[in-house]
Chain A
Amino acid sequence: MIRKASIALAAALTLGTQAFAADAPAEIKIGTLYASSGRYASISMPVHSALKLWVEQKNAEGGVYVKAFDKKIPIKLVAYDDQSNTATAATLYNQLVTQDKVDMLVADSGSVLTAPAVTIARDHKMFLFDQTGTGASFFSKDNPYIALMADPVSTIWPKPVADFITHDGPGLGIKKVAILYSTNEFTGTQANAVRKFIKDSGAPIEIVYDQGIPTETTNYTVIINNILAKEPDAVIHLGYAPNDIAFLRNVQDVGAKFKMLFCIYPGLETELLEKNVGAKGLQHVFTYVPPQELEYPVNFGMKMSDFKKAWDAKYKDGKIEFGFNSVAGYTTALVLEKTLSVATSLDRMELRKAVFSLSGKLKTLDGTFALDEMGGQIGELTPLGQLELNEHGHIKFVSIYPHETATGKPVYPRP
């Protein structure tokens, strides 16, 4: 009897294994969009290029390990060019879902090009791997089909800046703060967050200037004089790269000496800013410290130095900038890979469960991957740093806050 049962069990297992292997797809289809031209090309191409680099690497190794089929399976990247056009992006996302029937859906970079994907993913009950769309409106308790991979959600991103001002600021003599921001979702939400963190802290900090201006603003001369008239101890400028370039140039033109000046993009697109503003114009400017300046310990994927080597080998011409956005793209790739290695099926909700199971445990070159309950990224925070000149007159980062990651003391007031 026992023998018969053993034979039956063995036969069942054999058949089961055969069926399991037969069910495994020839490739895992990952669908995504990129913008080769238009307003978002500069952030989209580094992210997408990093994703492509990872796909090539993994396919050269025979694919990625997929737990659902207990084997390595090659990846097929299905990518369309939305050219920074949101209506086109919407159509192409739908194409990926309905026609290409991709296994995993990855959004383009930035909130504006991610927005159409949020609706489509939800409509088709498809889990969306949101690369850098930090918009707070994407993440709600009634939308389980999204998680942010690589940038902190806008509502917490500027926490290190606000914490530095409220914790260390009074000791340094910072009492009055000016906030100038471009009126778009990304920088508008950061301004809201800074304001909230400062007010909630109860620190003796007064916001003496708080002004939103159109993102298209190119001349800040009058605005800078208005800020100077308020005599702030710290100025926080929140804008896109072109805003930062125009603002910092005008600060030099006017000869304004702000005691502390924070801008976002000197940290995120350093080469671009150094080229357009000059190293002198960036000296002593406070900014976010990108992960490539910090070398976080990793428990999955390449270390920063190895990633840089792989990047330089693949993109020899240097036309696509290595930096914050390329790290974001590679981080997304690592989350995809790790998700496939723990998900027991490719079912949407199983993918979600797998992604959330990585929260707090996955440590990549971008820091610790951590999600809140709605899928917003709350790890991977970018510390506050200050730009100084090295012995060759080039820009170098000095991490200032939080103190655990600090590599130096702030230069305050700016000489």
Chain B
Amino acid sequence: MPDTLRHYLIIAVPLLIVMAVLPSVYSNHLLLFNFVIFFILAQGVNIIYGFTGYLPFGYVGFFGAGAYGFAIMVMHLNAPAPLAVLVGGAVAVVLGLILTPLLRLAGAYFSIANLAAALAVLHLVANPALEQITKGPYGVALNGTFNPTMAYAGGILILALTLGIVVYLKNSSFGLALQAVREDSFSASMSGVNVVKMRTVAWLASALVAGLAGGVFAWYVSVFYPDNVFSADFSIFAIVFALFGGVATISGPLIGVIILYGIYNLIGFTTPQYFQLIYGLLIMALVLFLPAGLVSLATRRGWYVP
């Protein structure tokens, strides 16, 4: 069986089925929806960081842009929600294109510039002078499209698309070329890899999934402020989850979300007073003992991790 098909069958399809079925057995649908959102965002970080080495501290900029792309389509054009979600994704891609020059930076410089770019987008959206378009800082209320069930289904579809992209990157020569660029862009270039094109495609794919996730998030929550959808927590969580599981794999970010976001909610529901302590210790342990993520426990032993 080809690896691509095997990865679809053992990782993507079971996860999608489980996430599709869970709402019928567990009634906190918003918790499940947040899991779906973080699966998408962690994989989005995986696309850009795991395969190219760019750590996007301002990743939430795409998410927020997608949410506001959705909101503007609904508020001003009465667009149907699924179309507005697609436009949210497109808005994020356009933003990604505008920010493409950031890819000329490397390491911490890229991360900081990306964070600054996300803040710039936040302040643009929250600018009172744009109240007629974005509602500025006063918040958006999209009561007409409110439909949590359909939004959840939309989230599952976007997760399927995201997993499809990651499975493709993991198994294609394109993904291999990206990893070559990540390891040593100069050598990759010498070997005939179009470094700029490769990075740009990965960057835009990463932006697309975050924008779509933002759109579907806006569809689900329907009332939000710029601070809600541009919250740095989204970036931090997505990065931590991806790193915890292990990047440049299909399963790593998923494992990271299941364990860390699962523990996060478990502590939140039971012993919130110990939250910072338990979570902090967990992340410290990861940094000290498993810097390459949980999957490195297996890869160290020579086991293959998809």
Given contacts A88-B268, A112-B225, contact A188 B138 (CB under 8 A): yes
Please give the distance in Å from B17's CB to the nearest CB on chain A: 22
Question: For A82, A85, A142, which residue has the most chain B Cβ atoms within 10 angstroms?
Answer: A85
In the assembled complex, the Cα of A87 lies from the Cα of B272 at a distance in Å of 16
B233 sits at the interface (CB 8 A): yes
Contact A87 B148 (CB under 8 A): no
A81 contacts B268, CB within 8 Å? yes
Interface contact B139-A183, CB-CB below 8 Å: no
- The interface-forming segment of B8-16, B88-96, B121-129 is B121-129
Say whether A188 contacts B136, CB under 8 Å. Answer: yes
Contact string, B12-35, partner A, CB cutoff 8 A, digits 1/0?
000000000000000111110010
Q: Which residues of A contact B (CB under 8 A)?
A: 36-37, 80-83, 85-88, 90-95, 98-99, 111-112, 115-116, 118-120, 122-123, 135-138, 140, 142-143, 183-185, 188-189, 191-192, 212, 214
How many A-B pairs have beta carbons closer than 8 Å: the answer is 119
Interface SS of B by simple majority = helix
B28 and A95 form a contact (CB under 8 A): yes
Q: Is there contact, CB below 8 Å, between B139 and A119?
A: no
Which of A36, A94, A138 is within 8 Å of B29, CB to CB? A94
Q: Does B241 contact A (CB under 8 A)?
A: no
Residues of A within 8 A of B265 (CB): 91
Interface contact B31-A115, CB-CB below 8 Å:
no
Distance in angstroms between the alpha carbons of A85 and B236 in the assembled complex: 12
Collect the chain A residues with CB atoms within 8 Å of residue B137's CB: 183-185, 188, 212
Cβ B223 vs Cβ A138 within 8 A: yes
Residue of A nearest to B139 (CB): A137
CA distance in complex: A183, B140 (Å): 15
Known: A115-B228, A143-B143, A184-B126. A99 touches B138 (CB 8 A): no
Cβ–Cβ contact B143 & A87, under 8 A = no
A36 to B273, CA, bound (A): 8
Q: B231-243 toward A: CB 8 Å interface, digit per residue (1/0)?
A: 1011001000000
* Cβ A80 vs Cβ B138 within 8 A: no
Q: How far is the CA of A37 from the CA of B224 in the complex (A)?
A: 21
| CB contact list, B156-192 vs A, under 8 A | none
A185–B227 CA distance with the chains assembled, in angstroms: 9
Pairwise interchain contact B228-A86, C-beta atoms closer than 8 A: yes
Q: A119-B146, A137-B141, A188-B136 are in contact. Are A86 and B269 (CB under 8 A)?
A: no
Q: For the complex, what is the distance from the CA of A86 to the CA of B29, rounded to whole Å? A: 16
Question: Is B231's CB under 8 angstroms from A85's CB?
Answer: yes
B57 to chain A, nearest CB (A): 16
User: Knowing A87-B231, A112-B228, A115-B223 touch, does A81 contact B27 (C-beta < 8 A)?
Assistant: no
Q: Would B27 and A98 count as touching, CB distance under 8 A? A: yes
Q: Chain A residue with minimal CB distance to B227? A: A112
The 4 nearest A-B residue pairs measured at CB: A81-B272, A94-B30, A98-B27, A188-B137
Residue of chain B at shortest CB distance from A135: B139
CA distance A80 to B275 in the complex (A): 11
**Interface pair A116/B221, CB less than 8 Å apart:** yes
The distance in angstroms between the C-alpha atoms of A92 and B264, with both chains bound, is 11
Min C-beta distance of B277 to chain A, whole Å: 12
| Interfacial chain B residues near A185, Cβ < 8 Å | 137-139, 225
Indicate whether B78 reaches chain A with its CB closer than 8 angstroms. no
Q: Is the CB of B31 within 8 A of A119?
A: no
Per-position binary interface string of chain B over residues 189-225, scored 1 when its CB falls under 8 Å from any chain A CB and 0 otherwise: 0000000000000000000000000000000011111
The CA-CA distance from A187 to B282 in the complex, in Å, is 38
Q: A86-B227, A116-B221 are in contact. Are A81 and B275 (CB under 8 A)?
A: yes
Query: Which residues of chain A come closer than 8 Å to B228, judged between CB atoms?
Result: 86, 112, 115-116
Q: Is the CB of B272 within 8 A of A36?
A: yes
Inter-subunit contact B138/A91 (CB<8 Å)? no
Residue of B nearest to A210 (CB): B128
Return chain B residues, CB-CB under 8 Å to A189. 138
On chain A, the residues within 8 Å of B139 by CB distance are 111, 115, 135, 137, 185
In the bound complex, what is the Cα–Cα distance between A90 and B227 (angstroms)?
14
Option from A86, A123, A183 in Cβ contact (under 8 Å) with B126 = A183
- Name the A residues within 8 Å of B123 (CB-CB): 183, 214
Are the CB atoms of B222 and A119 closer together than 8 Å?
yes
Across the interface, which residues of B come within 8 angstroms of A140, CB to CB?
Answer: 141, 143
Rounded to whole angstroms, the CA-CA distance of A91 and B140 in the bound complex is 20
* B272 contact set on A, CB distance < 8 A: 36, 80-81
In the complex, whether B299 has a CB less than 8 A from a CB of chain A is no
Asked if B100 is at the interface of the complex by the 8 Å CB criterion, the answer is no
CB of B120 to closest CB in A, whole Å: 10
For B279, the closest partner residue in chain A by CB is A83
Contact indicator A183/B28 (Cβ below 8 Å): no
With A80-B272, A81-B272 known as contacts, the answer to whether A123 contacts B148 (CB < 8 A) is yes
Q: In the complex, how many angstroms separate the beta carbon of B64 from the nearest chain A beta carbon? A: 12
Provide the bound-state CA to CA distance between A123 and B149, in Å.
11
Inter-subunit contact B222/A86 (CB<8 Å):
no
A80 and B269 within 8 A (CB) = yes
Task: Tell me how far the C-beta of A336 lies from the nearest C-beta in chain B, rounded to whole angstroms.
Answer: 22
A143 to B146 Cα, complex, angstroms: 12
CB distance from A150 to the nearest CB of B (A): 20
A83 cross-chain contacts in B, Cβ below 8 A: 275
Nearest CB in chain B to that of A213: its residue: B123
Listed A/B pairs (30) with beta-carbon separation below 8 Å: A80-B269, A80-B272, A82-B268, A83-B275, A85-B231, A86-B224, A87-B34, A87-B231, A87-B234, A88-B233, A91-B265, A92-B268, A99-B28, A111-B139, A112-B227, A115-B221, A115-B225, A118-B223, A119-B146, A119-B221, A135-B138, A140-B141, A142-B143, A183-B123, A183-B126, A184-B126, A185-B137, A188-B128, A189-B138, A212-B137
